[in-house]
Amino acid sequence: MYDDILLPTDGSEGTTAATTHAAELASTYDATVHVLSVADSRNRFESPTSGIAPEAWDEAQRDQAEAAIDATVDALGDDVDVHRVLREGVPHEEIVAYVDDADVDVVVMGTHGRTGLDHYLIGSVTEKVVRQSAAPVLSVRLDE
């Protein structure tokens, strides 16, 4: 049923909960887990008077994405077949594109379950992926 599982990660606690589910699915179906992290290419601080240089932002984003992948792979354990993927771009767009590129069977993602103003202001990468993904998405809520 599931040969290829996509586990997007940003290194947050929500990813930890999703990692447990992805590991269980991989064990049950002898599947490969594609651990994907996206270095966000949108420099939110790019302006002539404030923020950091685009090159410094990009490097920091890549470092953060690599660290998130490493931590998630470690949490999956040695008995899970893993494929590491680092992409650069807008997170939800890159996740949805990878679903198609890698012919993923299911996406397992964590969510903070934000509502109201927080949801409106911060948005939800998971929600965008749920709406746009060709593969089913299992969203795992972070327990408060």
Ranges in the chain, pLDDT < 50: 49, 117-122, 144
Helices 54-76 and 13-29: crossing angle, nearest 10°?
50
Report the C-alpha gap between 9 and 131 in whole angstroms. Answer: 18
Ranges of H-type helices in 10-81: 13-29, 54-76
pLDDT score recorded for residue 120: 45
pLDDT score recorded for residue 122: 45
What pTM was estimated for this model as a whole? 0.87
pLDDT score recorded for residue 123: 54
Query: 4-141, superfamily in CATH?
Result: HUPs (3.40.50.620)
